[in-house]
Structures are given as C-alpha cells and as structure tokens.
Amino acid sequence: MKIARKTIAGLLPALSLCLAVAVRLAAGPDVALAFHNGGTGDCGDCHTTHRAGAIAENAATAQGVYMLKGSDASSTCLNCHQAAGLAGPTGQYVSTPESEMPAGVPPKQMTPGGDFGWLKKNYTWKAPGSGMRASPGYMHGHSIVAVDYGYSADPVITRAPGGAYPASALSCTSCHDPHGTYRRIINGAIASSGAKICNSGSYDTSPDPTADCPVGVYRLLGGIGYQPASLNGYSFTADPPAAVAPSVYNRSEETTETRVAYGSGMSEWCENCHSINPGNGRHSHPAGSPAKLGTLAKYYNMYVKSGDVTGTSASSYSSLVPFEEGTSDYRTLRSHAKNDDSYLRGPDANSNVMCLTCHRAHASGWDFGLRFNTYDQDFITTEAQTGAPLWPGTDTTRNAQWSMGRTSEETRRAYYNIPARRLSPYQRTLCNKCHIRD
C-alpha cells in the first residue's frame, strides 16, 4: 500500500512539490496522523489523484475547479476537518455535522478558533418588555462557503467590515494556505520559499527551525502576498502572527484552561481583510501591538469575577479573555502554551489587547464570533434557587432571555464548558476583566 502510493507520487509532474510527500510517506506509519506536518499534504488527499499534475491546465474540467475532492476549497478541507460520530472534542475537527446538533444541542468541538457548527444554529427569544429578538447563525462568525457541508456566505454582510474582501469568496483557504507555503526559518523570519518545511511550528512540542528544516507558520496561515488561486486582488500585506498552541488544544475547559500563547501580530494579520478604525462605530476598540494594556494590566490581574478583585498576576489568566504577550520569542511562547493550568500568569504593562481578546477566529456561540456575550445586557450568568451561579438558558427559570434563546447546555458550551461556579451569580460581561466597573 505504502509502495503503491509512493509510486503515484513519483509519477506526478509537479516533482518538486511532491518530493516532500514522498519523503513523508517513506517516514513511517504516523503519516495519517500528521497530514500537513506544517506544510501541505499528500496532493491526492485534496486533489483527484490520477491527474493532480494537470490541475492548472484543466482547471474547470473535473470534479470541482482545480480538481479538488470537494465541490469547493472549504468542502475539501472539511472532508477531514468535520466527522460524524465523534464523542466530543477531537483533534483537528472544527465543525460538527448538523444531524448531531438538533435544536437545543450545541456543536461539539472546542478548539481555540471555534466550531463552525455555530453558524447553523439560529436562535430567537422574547425579550421582556420588547418583541422577539433573533441571533441568526450567520452572525456567529466567519460564514465560510462549503457547499458539500451546507455552509453558505453571510446573507447580509457582503464585504469584510472595514475592508473589501468579498463574503461570497470566504473559505478556509482565504485564511489558511492549502499548500503551506509560509515558513518560519532559522533566524525567526517568515519566508515563502527555501528549504522544505519539516514540522508544524504551531505547538509547544514543535522544534525550533534549523537551516535545513524550517517549520510551518502558525496554523498554516497566509502571509505577505498570499491569496487563494481562485481570487485576485486581495493579497495579504501582513505575515502570520507569532503564537503557540498546546499540542492538545481541542478540549473541554471544564477543569483546566486551554491556553494558546499569543505573542504578537494577530490583529495586524486580521487587518489583511479588516481595518480597525478608532471612531468607526462598531469595530473601534483599540487592538494590536500599540494597544498596550499599560495600567489596565493591573485590573486584569486583580479581577477574579464580579465583586471579587482579590486576584494576583500569578494566576489571573482566562482563556475567555486572552491577550498578546508582546513578544515573538518562540521559546517563551512554547513554555506558556499549556492545557493543565501550570501557567496561568496574567499580563504585564507590555502585553496588548488584540482581536482574539474578544473574538474567536472561526465562530462562537455568540454574535460576531465573540468569546463572551455582550449583547444588549450586562449579565452573563444568573442565579439558581440555591444562590449558586448558573448559566442561563431557555430551560432555566430565571433570566432565560440572557441566553438569547440558547439552552443552558448551549450557553455552557459557548463558554467551553467552564463551570458557572467559577464566576459570580449575575456575573457581568467580561469587558470588566480590564475595565472593572462593578
């Protein structure tokens, strides 16, 4: 089996690209586990195998443009990034099939970027003293187009707010380079050519790049000059961020937090498509390297929950309100990317607020892909009869409207299964982590 696949790879005309594949196939049995390995992957797992070398000449002739295995780029990715029958959060999966999340049941995956399944959850609720309100699925994050998996473009927003990128062309490959071109090289710089990528650079377990072995950029994100083959005129002007995820990153945070060590450059990368413009209404919060926490770091560190400001910098971190450390030193970042609460240190004055302080990159349980609910009201928990904090939901007796039509299980999932008891009853929204107002 292995030999047969190697032979096919050997026959492909795109020899230089395929060399990496042949080398990996020869490397042994973990091939299936480490598919991209920081770079691309076996051509034949995304393109129809027999003629992958003829892709460019025959662009529109075969199954899908570019002879992809799915009807479009995102569907091709979801062939491996969505699966049926998973018990819970698992590996690289970032989407839950519709059939496994009927009304009242949340999506299963809890990656830092979030489960795209939230885009298919439509909610309505009755707000006391006013009419019916709605939180339609397309407001829950980036509406990728993936025809085979029932995902379609945002019906309302036609261009990236603050930018021009067309919503109708938004796909996994708008942000991630399917051919994993961008690499972190020995001096820490990002390059789009040179020695082949040997490893993922995304994890606490990833090696440092060497002259012969660069590593992939964080999450195979596109860098300067990137645009997917199918779209022209929107090429990126900023390189991928410096960040490191713990190697097990798709998990419930019921007992411990999943801490991605965000270093720098995330907001600048989002600004490849958006611009944040202070004074520009909805997207005006400061974000990026210059948006230092300064004296606000002190508040972040003190803040435990509403009414409790006894926290200390050694243990103040919350994955619901992450920050950038203001560094691109990977040794430091690797030692901070944890999922066992062994590093919970909060920010210092040099840390900065960034887009992912408030948003998730893919989608979330709340409007605008937010990490925490800010909609129209200040409270994110209610109180049980016993006086204990409780996630609100359509099935709870008090303040059901604070869940915006979600069940309490969906609310809890939107907070990555964090127990409500870690917060206060009538907990205020988490903007307060930095701007204590109660």
Residues 200-229 that bind ligand HEC (CB under 6 A): 200, 202, 216, 219-220, 228-229
Beta carbon of residue 257, minimum distance to ligand HEC (angstroms, whole number): 13
- The upper half-sphere exposure of residue 269, i.e. CA atoms within 13 Å in the direction of its Cβ, equals 25
Kindly identify the residues of this chain, within the stretch 95-154, that bind ligand HEC according to CB under 6 A: 111-113, 116, 139-144, 154
Kindly identify the residues of this chain, within the stretch 41-80, that bind ligand HEC according to CB under 6 A: 41, 43, 45-47, 52, 55-56, 66, 68, 73-74, 76-80
In the complex with ligand HEC, the residue whose CB is nearer, 183 or 412, is 183
125: its two tokens = 């609720």
Question: What distance in Å separates the CA atoms of residue 368 and residue 371, rounded to the nearest whole number?
Answer: 9
Beta carbon of residue 406, minimum distance to ligand HEC (angstroms, whole number): 16
In the complex with ligand HEC, the residue whose CB is nearer, 82 or 403, is 82
Q: End-to-end CA distance of the chain: give it in Å, rounded.
A: 64
Going residue by residue from 225 to 264, which x/- string records binding to ligand HEC, judged by CB under 6 A? Answer: ---xxx------------x-x--------------x----
Nearest to 272 by CA among 165, 169, 143: 165
- Cα angle 178-206-18, degrees, rounded to a multiple of 5: 35
State which of residues 25, 31, 35, 195 lies at the interface with ligand HEC (CB under 6 A). Answer: 35
In the complex with ligand HEC, the residue whose CB is nearer, 176 or 413, is 176
In the complex with ligand HEC, the residue whose CB is nearer, 96 or 403, is 96
Residues touching ligand HEC, count (CB under 6 A): 100
Does residue number 374 form part of the binding site for ligand HEC (CB under 6 A)?
Answer: yes
Question: What distance in Å separates the CA atoms of residue 109 and residue 92, rounded to the nearest whole number?
Answer: 9
Beta carbon of residue 357, minimum distance to ligand HEC (angstroms, whole number): 5
Beta carbon of residue 16, minimum distance to ligand HEC (angstroms, whole number): 9
Cβ contacts of 141 within 8 Å, gap of 6 or more: 114, 116, 118, 119, 360, 362, 363, 364, 368, 369
Question: What distance in Å separates the CA atoms of residue 230 and residue 117, rounded to the nearest whole number?
Answer: 25
Kindly identify the residues of this chain, within the stretch 376-435, that bind ligand HEC according to CB under 6 A: 431, 433-435
Burial state string for 346-362 with b = 16 or more CB within 10 A and e = fewer than 16: bbbeebbbbbbbbbbbb
Beta carbon of residue 249, minimum distance to ligand HEC (angstroms, whole number): 6
In the complex with ligand HEC, the residue whose CB is nearer, 209 or 228, is 228
Are the C-beta atoms of residues 40 and 178 closer than 8 Å to each other?
yes
Beta carbon of residue 401, minimum distance to ligand HEC (angstroms, whole number): 18
Question: What distance in Å separates the CA atoms of residue 40 and residue 102, rounded to the nearest whole number?
Answer: 35
Question: What distance in Å separates the CA atoms of residue 229 and residue 182, rounded to the nearest whole number?
Answer: 15
State which of residues 89, 106, 117, 178 lies at the interface with ligand HEC (CB under 6 A). Answer: 178
Cβ contacts of 104 within 8 Å, gap of 6 or more: 394, 407, 409, 410
Kindly identify the residues of this chain, within the stretch 275-334, that bind ligand HEC according to CB under 6 A: 276, 278, 282-283, 285-287, 291, 293, 296, 300, 321, 323
